[in-house]
Each structure stands twice: as C-alpha cells, then as structure tokens.
Amino acid sequence: MLRRTVLYDEHVAHGARIVPFGGFEMPVQYTSVLREHDAVRQRAGLFDLSHMAQYELRGEGVAEWADALTINEVGTMKPLQARYNIFTNEAGGAHDDVLFYRLPDRWLLVVNAGNAEKMWPYLQAQAAGRTDVALTSHHGSRALIAVQGPRAVEIVAPLCDIDVASMKYYFCAEGHVDAAPAVIARTGYTGEDGFELFVEGEDAPRLWRRLLEQGKQASLEPAGLGARDILRLEAGMPLYGHELEEDISPLAGGQGWAIKFRKPDFVGKAALVAERDADEYDRIAGVALAGRAPARAGYAVFANGERVGEVKSASIAPSLANTNIATVYVKKHAALPGTKLGIDIRGTLHDATVVSLPFYRRNDARKDT
Amino acid sequence: MANPADLLYTKDHEWAKIDGDIATVGITDYAQHSLGDIVYVELPRVGQSVAEHASIGVVESVKAVSELFNPVTGEVVEVNPILETDPSAVNRDAFGDGWMYKVKLPNGTPSGLLSAEEYEKLIAE
C-alpha cells in the first residue's frame, strides 16, 4: 500500500505526474523534467522530500553508538553540523547512506525512503538494551521541503526568524520558517546551494504555498524526482540502489572519502581495510558518451572486447551541453579517467570515455567532509 | 492538442499522413506528453523496408525507452534530420516539425488505421 506525503494534494494541484517511489506516491515531474532541472541550476526549485525517513536520536551514547555502525565520524561533529555518512554491513557493503544533523539536544538522522523498512528495525535492534540511546521515528508525520538553487537564499531568508544567509554549507539551526517551527539546514542533493526545511506535517502545505509565493520573483518552480535524479547524477552524488548497495561498498561506490579508517572500529571496517589494501575491487566510475543515444541502468560495459561491468545510472546532462553521462560499475583497470569503454545499447557498442567525478560542480562549491 | 482530422492513427499512438503514395509518420501529441522530455529518437534508415506493426526504432525520454512501431508497410524514403540534433521537436510539435520519417506506400492508402475520432475514443478510455 503506497503512502502519500502531506503535500500530495499540492502536487496534484500543480499538475504533477505521480509515480511510486520508496513506498510513497511522489511527483516525478510537474511540467518537464528538463525545465525543472534548469530552474534549479539557474534559479531555484522546490522539492517535497517528505518521503524520506526522519529519525530523532537522543541520549548520551548516540555519538559513540553511531560511530560503531557507520564509516564517517559522528562524535567529531560540531553542534549544528550536518554530515554525510553510510551505515555498513559486516562485509563492508552499504546498508544505507544517510545524513546526520547535530542539534543542541538531539540528532536528526535522515535515511532513504526505500531503505526505511530495513533501517528502522536495524537501528532499533542496534539500540536495544541501551539506556543511553533513544530512537524516535517521525517518518511520514514530519515533512521535509527543500529549496535548491542559486536563488534559494533570497527566497528562504526573508521567511526565517534566524540568520540563514550566513549559515555555512552542511550546517543547520533551529528556528521558524513563516512562523512554523523548523530545523533549517543548508544541505541538499542537487549540487547547488540551498536549504532543507524539516517541519511538522501540519505546517507543510501552508509553508509549501508560502515558499512558492515568496519565490515568484526568483521564478521558483516545484521540481520533481526526475529533475532531482539528473541534478544529483551531474553532481556526482550516489543514489542508493545504484551506486551504493548491500554488495557495493562505500569504497567501490566512490565514497571512500567518507571512510574514517582512524576510527577504532565500526561495522565492516575489517572488510573495508582488506578491500582498500588489496585494491582490486570493482568500482564506480563516471563516463561521458560520445553519441546522442542515452545509456540506461543495467546496460553492459566493455573494454577491449571484455565485459567489464554495467551501467548504474545514466542521463542526458543539460548542465554539460546535453552530453550523455553515466555511472558504471566496472573492473579496476576500466575505471581510470581517460579509459575508452563501449556501452552496449540495444546490441551496438557505443563509445564512452571515463571522466573524473563529479560531472558538474557549481562555481562556488565547497567540499564537505 | 487536438488530433488533426486529416491524419490516421494507430493504437500504439503513431500517426500517418497520407499524401498520394507517401505516408509521413510520427507519434501523437498524446504519446509525446505521456513520454515527457524526449532526448533521443532512433529512426529507420532511408531505403529500409518497414512492415506495419513492426518495431523499427526507439523514442527515449529522460526516464524511459519506448519502442517506435511503424504504422504503414513500405519503404522509408526520408527521415526528419532535425530530430538527430533536436529531438525535443517531437515535444513541441508532434504533428508538425516533430514528424519522424516518410514511407513510400506500394499499394495506395493502407487499411486498418484509426480515424481521429476513433483514436480519441481510444485515448479517452
């Protein structure tokens, strides 16, 4: 049974095409995927991300507990910092990729909607018997609205009762947006500047409409999951189920930068150390196709006549003059930038060249670690 | 957009405009709207013999690959060169600039195609 976010009626009112995603009926597009992509890169886009699972973690033990389950450091996060992280399995594979937000008295953890059914029982089991870690799920009851794009600040800032214009990338704060209590975070999944607003479900529809009103001058448009997928792919951000999986590790998935091997131990550390040291693992690489035919997830990838892997994500890249781009999961020797590959598109090999990720980086981009 | 009355249609959402022994072929406005942003069109080659109902190409939107079914039997005599560089012409003008290819018909007007009225009934279902 598919669920609806509290903003479902807003999507329908805007003419959205609705598709099932992560157990929810979600807008894939309102007008055109490419138009919405352009809005985010040039101006600003408004996203409903309320399908993502929001968990609250409280207690003295949260940092130490989470550090034992994930690859990145949780305990070293500063107050009001946000940080990308990955829960791993014993084999070093990715159980889910997530964001932690450190608030003064608690933590927010945002997990992929499609993984919520496995993550919630997993987290509960990991916290069982501990009096210093308390978990609460707000999945479906709290909303998440993102405003992303170069004009996001001028849209969001006037509605906030705290200074969000000077907020640093991958930081957050508690305040109010249009009088609604909110956690306001300068995070996103588009490769652009922007904010993610965590609010109570009952406040979300009014805030959604207010943001659209406020964003009129900046030509803010609602943007769907179709645009979001191209934006994140161009920006080199992984999508769970594509670049990361239970059997694709953070190393293989290109997220090795987030693994803090200096941590004393965490689930999957031994496997990841072995994988790193042997350095023979198949890995995610970015490719640019020479022709106009798009690649698709699952297409076979060849190098010198040998099948070396498959496509994981692919799209036309409007930010790169409509070049066809893809991520491929291939043998080590086929993953070096400059390597010539062939992608099997309906029985014909099409030329592609490995390029370094990300495909797209905004001018003022700063790297979060 | 209305489906022009002077075109013939298929249940696979292609249209054909018959002019003497030449049929101009494309996909309907309903089809382009359902597909969304079209980013690639793979057409048959000039000189290729194509059979009615055969899958002879693909139309790809940002999210999906769809087969292109040929509505009329004959020989391809021309393909729309615009679509190679600007496949979005199909989104903008499915019945005009977004035409796909032309087929020389061996035996005059083909049978079994739908009128605009019949096609509208089909897509209303």
pLDDT tens readout for residues B3-21 = 999 999 999 999 999 999 9
Model pLDDT, residue A1: 83
Cα-Cα-Cα-Cα torsion A235, A210, A156, A50, nearest 10 degrees, comes to -40
Strand, helix or coil for residue A82: strand
> What is the full DSSP assignment across A164-221?
-TTPPTTBEEEEEETTEEEEEE---SSSS-EEEEEEEGGGHHHHHHHHHHHTTTTT-E
Contacts A230 to B, Cβ<8 Å: 62
Q: Is A300 on the interface with B (CB under 8 A)?
A: no
Whole-angstrom Cα distance, residue A328 to residue A352?
11
For residue A281, CA distances in Å to A85, A133, A213 come to 21, 35, 50
pTM confidence score? 0.95
Both tokens of A57, joined, read 């973690």
Burial class of residue A53 (count of CB atoms within 10 Å of its CB; 0-12, 13-18, 19+):
buried
Contacts B39 to A, Cβ<8 Å: 294, 316, 322
- List beta partners, residue A360: none
Cβ–Cβ gap A230/B60 under 8 Å: no
Cβ–Cβ gap A296/B65 under 8 Å: yes
- A258 has pLDDT over 70: yes
Spans of all domains in chain A? 3-51+140-234, 282-369
- Residue B66: inside a domain: yes
- Residue B124: inside a domain: no
Number of folded domains in chain B? 1
Burial class of residue A259 (count of CB atoms within 10 Å of its CB; 0-12, 13-18, 19+):
buried
Interface mutation target, options B62, B68, B90, chain A, most CBs of A under 10 Å: B62
Model pLDDT, residue A363: 81
Q: Is A34 on the interface with B (CB under 8 A)?
A: yes
- A368 has pLDDT over 70: no
Model pLDDT, residue B109: 76
- A49 has pLDDT over 80: yes
Whole-angstrom Cα distance, residue A25 to residue A8?
8
Q: Which residues of A116-133 are buried (b: 16+ CB within 10 A; e: fewer)?
A: beebbebbeebbeeeeeb
Domain A3-51+140-234 class in CATH: alpha beta
Calculate the average pLDDT of chain A: 97
* φ, ψ at A9 (rounded to 5°): -65, -30
The minimum CA-CA distance between B17 and chain A, rounded to whole Å, is 27
Q: Is B67 on the interface with A (CB under 8 A)?
A: no
Contacts A346 to B, Cβ<8 Å: 58
| Domains A3-51+140-234 and A282-369 alike in fold | no
Whole-angstrom Cα distance, residue A292 to residue A323?
7
pLDDT digits (tens, 9 = 90+) for A89-111: 999 999 999 999 999 999 999 99
- Residue B88: inside a domain: yes
Whole-angstrom Cα distance, residue A27 to residue A32?
11
Closest CA to A50 of A88, A8, A17, A15: A8
- A366 has pLDDT over 60: no
Determine the structural domain holding residue B47 and report its residue range. Answer: 8-108
Cβ–Cβ gap B37/A17 under 8 Å: no
For residue A68, CA distances in Å to A30, A239, A345 come to 42, 23, 43
- Residue B40: inside a domain: yes
- Residue B101: inside a domain: yes
What's the one-letter identity of residue A241?
A: G
Model pLDDT, residue A369: 40
> Given 3.30.450.40, 3.30.70.360, 2.40.30.110, 1.10.8.10, which CATH number is that of A282-369?
2.40.30.110
Q: Largest Cα–Cα distance in chain A?
A: 61
- A224 has pLDDT over 60: yes
CB atoms within 10 A of CB A338: 8
Residues of chain A with pLDDT > 90: what percent? 98
- List beta partners, residue B42: B58
Whole-angstrom Cα distance, residue A357 to residue A41?
18
Cβ–Cβ gap A226/B62 under 8 Å: yes
Q: Residue A305: which residues within 8 A CB-CB, separation 6 or more? A: none
Closest CA to A195 of A231, A232, A156, A234: A156
- Residue B122: inside a domain: no
ipTM: 0.90
| pLDDT tens across the length of chain B (125 residues) | 789 999 999 999 999 999 999 999 999 999 999 999 999 999 999 999 999 999 999 999 998 999 999 999 999 999 999 999 999 999 999 999 999 999 999 977 788 899 999 999 999 98
- Residue B118: inside a domain: no
Give mean pLDDT, residues A351-365.
Answer: 91
Under the banding of pLDDT at 50, 70 and 90, the label for residue A365 is low
Under the banding of pLDDT at 50, 70 and 90, the label for residue A367 is very low
Q: Residue A169: which residues within 8 A CB-CB, separation 6 or more? A: A186, A187, A193, A366, A368
CATH number of the domain within which B23 lies: 2.40.50.100
Cβ–Cβ gap A226/B39 under 8 Å: no
Give mean pLDDT, residues A270-295.
Answer: 98
For residue B89, CA distances in Å to B26, B38, B46, B81, B86 come to 11, 8, 20, 11, 6
- Are B13 and B122 a contacting pair, CB within 8 Å? no
- Residue B117: inside a domain: no
Contacts B65 to A, Cβ<8 Å: 296
Strand, helix or coil for residue A6: coil
Q: Residue B116: which residues within 8 A CB-CB, separation 6 or more? A: B2, B3, B4, B5, B7, B9
